[in-house]
Amino acid sequence: MFKKILIANRSEIAVRVIRAARELGLASVAVYSEADRESLHAALADEAVCIGPAPSPLSYLNVEALLAAARRTGADAVHPGYGFLAENADFAQACADHGLTFIGPRPQAIRKLGHKSAAKALAREANVPVVPGTAGTISEGFLREAAAIGFPVMVKAAAGGGGKGLRLVRESGALEAQVRLAQNEARTAFKDGSIYIEKFIEQPRHVEIQIAADAAGGVVAFPERDCTVQRRHQKLIEESPSPAVPERTRQAMQTAAATLVRACGYTNVGTVEFLLAPDGRFYFIEVNTRLQVEHPVTECVTGLDLVATQIRLAAGEKLPFGQDRACEIRCHAIEHRINAEDPDRGFAPGPGRITGLRLPGGPGVRLDTHVYAGYTVPMYYDRLLGKLIVHGPDRPAAIARSLRALGELRVEGIPTTAEFHRRVLAHPRFRAGNFDTSFVDVLQENNGQKHA
């Protein structure tokens, strides 16, 4: 087992990893930018190192600064969290080259699965269902390929994530312009403008399977997480189990996810994402080779600690539980991403100083956050203030408890999305479990809002 872990990240995920390390008896090192000097993760860790100015390229994306901090503090492992360098194979390799254990999959697995078109090719080879589309990336013949697939289609960045480099095209006349936009956005975001085209699945749900794998070949697949409530491909609410997934489909998805990660020799934790069509068929989208923002949903449902599991697997231990234990569903859990945004102004960002804060509590309520009264939310990073995770014996109970917890939450000084979550929970379609990925757009339109 390790002695000291450096967390190459910030905010609530850094706090989460520090807590897991402390429970395992391990020392932790936080890194922070100049804008995060007063952040909770820097205060909670055993040691904290400033790695540069506020802009991410000069701090949290600065590989040399991170490696120097690890050397200076004597860390022997690095946890990347999510975002920033979490799915960067070069960073994982750099850690290995400097004698540090990267708490995640091997660099070659990140490379195999990080490129979406290559991941789809692996899925086809493993007989995992994929959305009909081009066999790989394409640089010409866009109209011919799209016509063969059949409109509407999605133009997608091959080396992407977070909704960047995605364009929906419903008719041939708009294809060329949308391809150029997707390529340009991909080059800016990922320094890789390659794209592929696939069929657009109408009215889908977004469902994912958490997996964990050890170096001895053991693989487990957890119950699904439903991430359908999202805006512009950014998830807002996640829940498990999904109200739209029967047991037979759950088992088929778990089998497909486990088959895919075995096929590429994957180790540590990860997530295999699927689209679920209205007819019940599901299609592979991508693999996230890291911990997910919504991992607490699975932790609540199963009673298992995914971050501690990550650390143990990276240290070479075998999985401490088998498939039967991993797929136990002990409750219904819902996660609400509370962002510093104003939903009534097109989800405009709302950085600033938190002048007052009241946090919810009570049975079945968990809040993962890094903020406190007096904390200033910086403008340089994502807008996530915290994740409110609520669980109950069934879905109606979890919804009722979510409403109660959201009602208790008070954040003064900046706008948040808490009231928006209450509107979602109160909507008849959400309560009935009858919604798809367009649900938030429809809700906002009906509420008279215009998106930025």
Percent residues over pLDDT 90 in the chain: 88
- Domain C-terminal end among 163, 181, 199: 199
The chain-wide mean pLDDT, for the chain, equals 94
Q: Which of 106, 231, 290, 312 is catalytic?
A: 290
Residue 150 is assigned to a structural domain of this protein: yes
Residue 425 is assigned to a structural domain of this protein: yes
Which amino acid is it at 222? Answer: F
446 or 407, greater pLDDT:
407
List the domain range (segments joined by +) for residue 194: 132-199
| Confidence tier at 38 by pLDDT (50, 70, 90) | very high
Percent residues over pLDDT 70 in the chain: 98
pLDDT tens digits for 307-355? 999 999 999 999 999 999 999 999 999 999 999 999 999 899 999 999 9
Question: Where on the phi/psi map is residue 318: left (φ > 0), alpha (ψ -120 to 50), or beta?
Answer: beta
296 and 155: one domain? no
222 and 184: one domain? no
Residue 161 confidence (pLDDT): 67
Is pLDDT above 60 for 175? yes
Please spell the DSSP secondary structure of 82-135, one letter per residue.
SSTTTT-HHHHHHHHHTT-EESSS-HHHHHHHHSHHHHHHHHHHTT--B-SB-S
- Domain C-terminal end among 174, 199, 224: 199
33 and 138: one domain? no
Residue 177 confidence (pLDDT): 93
Residue 452 confidence (pLDDT): 38
| Confidence tier at 451 by pLDDT (50, 70, 90) | very low
CATH number at residue 80: 3.40.50.20
352 and 400: one domain? yes
256 and 398: one domain? yes
Mean pLDDT of 394-407: 98
Is pLDDT above 90 for 445? no
Residue 109 is assigned to a structural domain of this protein: no
In the chain, the N- to C-terminal Cα span, in Å, equals 48
Is pLDDT above 90 for 450? no
Residue 118 confidence (pLDDT): 85
- How many separate domains does the chain show? 3
Residue 123 is assigned to a structural domain of this protein: no
Residue 360 is assigned to a structural domain of this protein: yes
Residue carrying the six token digits 């991993």: 326
Q: Where in 200-252 does DSSP place strands (E)?
A: 205-213, 219-231, 234-240
- Can you give the C-alpha Rg of the chain in angstroms? 21
Residue 443 confidence (pLDDT): 85
Q: What is the pTM of this model?
A: 0.90
443 or 66, greater pLDDT:
66
90 and 210: one domain? no
97 and 232: one domain? no
Residue 374 is assigned to a structural domain of this protein: yes
Mean pLDDT of 268-278: 97
Please tell me the least confidently modeled range out of 104-113, 159-168, 169-178. Answer: 159-168
Q: State the pairing for strand pair 27-33/4-7.
A: parallel
290: annotated active-site residue: yes
